[in-house]
Amino acid sequence: MKISDFLSPADVVIDMRIAQKELLLRDLARRAALNLGLEADYVSSELLKREEFGSTGMGRGVAVPHARLPMVREPYGIMTRLKQPIDFAAIDGEPVDLFFSVLLPATAGRDQLGALALVARKLRTPECLVQLRRARTESELYAAITR
């Protein structure tokens, strides 16, 4: 499995301006719901519910908000870089500017769990983080995350 299997170029947003964690998750949920034919409020509530268990902020300015949804058949991702980092209660206490949201089927098989692990591994790579932050367009951001 590759990131390009569940992230399309149309699902990459650069220099988004949002100042709060909840507003960001609601916006990501709205975008995903529109593309997947789901209710935005439902997707949003599931992403927020997952954050209640603990922040998905991995540190180094990165977060991977995710949720498992019964109506989702295949992993689906949205990649976002904020114009200004926000507090996301990341494990290192640093603000977050890079978000890769993943929606997974409720009954996750190996491929679905692999999607989340693949994103996490990629976003731990210092070279990738530099490229993601230097990207000037959505196309460059997509290329950096799918390399």
Q: Is the separation of the CB atoms in 86 and 18 below 8 Å?
A: yes
What is the rounded average pLDDT for all residues in the chain?
Answer: 94
How confident is the model over 17-33, as pLDDT tens digits?
A: 999 999 999 999 999 99
Question: Which is it for strands 96-105 and 76-86: parallel, antiparallel or unpaired?
Answer: antiparallel
CA 96/CA 16 separation, integer angstroms: 12
How confident is the model over 68-124, as pLDDT tens digits?
A: 999 999 999 999 999 999 999 999 999 999 999 999 998 866 655 689 999 999 999
How confident is the model over 43-53, as pLDDT tens digits?
A: 999 999 999 99
Active site residue 74: no
The correct answer on CATH 3.90.700.10 for the domain covering 3-146 is: no
Provide the phi-psi class of 61: left if phi over 0, else alpha when psi is between -120 and 50, else beta.
left
Residue 114: predicted pLDDT: 85
Q: Which position among 66, 69, 98, 102 bears the catalytic label?
A: 66
Residue 106: predicted pLDDT: 87
